Amino acid sequence: MREPELLLLRGFRMSAFVDLLSSSKKVRQDIRFERPGEQSETENILARVVFEKSGFAPELHKGVPTLGVPMTTDTEPEFQEVFAASGPVVAGREGGLVYAVDGRHLFCTVQVTERDVYRDAARIAYDSAFELATRLGYPNILRMWNLVGGIIDDNADGMEIYRDFCSGRAEAFALWSGRILHIPAATGIGTRGDGVYLYFIAGRADADVHHLENPRQTPAYHYPESYGPKAPNFARATFAEGTLYISGTASIIGDETVHKGDIAGQVDVTLENIATLISTENLGKIRAEGGYTLRDLDLIKVYVSRAEDIPFVRSRCEEVFAPDARVVYLNVDICRPDLLVEIEAMVQ
């Protein structure tokens, strides 16, 4: 189906329009975490991701693409990840895709419901999302989130669901190679529910976007076949229009999990991996202005696979992150059974 089922124009204010037209205005994607009760009005919101206990399918809620992801427990209260718009928003729904554009960015989400084997459905979900992104003129994917229920469980064929999912995703990236401009920063992580929730933000073809690897880690798209028939498609970080998006990062050196069973060791290696990734030496490959340290991280999601490790991980993180950094702790499975912690973040 090519024609949108529904088009909504929100926040059409002349001032926003003038902002959009004036090239000196900031174009970075503004993201924040909101707790219940802190809710801002719908004007100038591109999309909302609700982190809650049960999850719900992507929908247009008062014209705002909204999805609920089953990620929280009693230790982490519900919160929302809010993507602000930089101008008037056009939102729509097309097949399973729910999306919004503001002239600078596209937010798009799609759910793959629970099934025996994910490969074909994952390929189709990505394929339809890439078709929409390129047709609307946002072929520069900046950051993707892949939230995979039962990530380390087996599918009906006895293949781990993460590997099954990666196969379909890799097929879609291969199909769109050259038209979808790059492989972006991403997170691939478990949930406390079923099925797969995908969401991403994308920019215009002329957006200033650089993708980055980590010298301590094998590029994920070069992982050997022992981790699955098709390697995962993601970069370690994306630097776009002033924002650094840091992919989910774990205790992996080269392609191997290190400090198996040792949460303290895994937290330290994860933090060292991020510190190296964002260092002046590594970021210098793509920009002249120098790098960052762990104190610069914000909008941090710390995924912990064993609930009992959360107090330790929290205290270690509080030592290294800035006191005003926004941090959430989510008790979910990670894509390898031997990984105990994974951390994603941004520098805005």
Single out the residue of 188, 190, 195, 203 in contact with ligand 3EB (rule: CB under 6 A).
Answer: 188
DSSP designation for 183: -
Using the minimum distance from each CB to ligand 3EB, give the nearer residue, 8 or 253.
Answer: 253
Count of alpha carbons within 13 Å of 327, Cβ hemisphere only? 24
Q: Which stretch binds ligand 3EB (CB under 6 A): 80-88, 116-124, 184-192, 298-306?
A: 184-192
Q: Which two tokens stand for residue 292?
A: 């960052």
Is 89 one of the binding residues for ligand 3EB (CB under 6 A)? Answer: no
Is 234 one of the binding residues for ligand 3EB (CB under 6 A)? Answer: yes
Q: Given phi > 0 = left and psi -120 to 50 = alpha, else beta, which region is 134?
A: alpha
User: For residues 309 and 39, what is the distance between their CA atoms, to the nearest angstrom?
Assistant: 31
Is 146 one of the binding residues for ligand 3EB (CB under 6 A)? Answer: yes
Using the minimum distance from each CB to ligand 3EB, give the nearer residue, 161 or 220.
Answer: 220
Give me the residue label for tokens 């939230």. Answer: 147
Is 247 one of the binding residues for ligand 3EB (CB under 6 A)? Answer: yes
Is 190 one of the binding residues for ligand 3EB (CB under 6 A)? Answer: no
For 85-148, strand residue ranges (E) read 89-94, 97-101, 105-112, 140-148
Using the minimum distance from each CB to ligand 3EB, give the nearer residue, 68 or 188.
Answer: 188
3-state SS, residue 143? strand
Contact 118, 161 (CB under 8 A): yes
Site string for ligand 3EB, 102-141 (x = CB under 6 A): ----------------------------------------
Q: Which residues bind ligand 3EB (CB under 6 A)?
A: 146, 186-188, 220, 232, 234, 247-248, 250, 252, 335
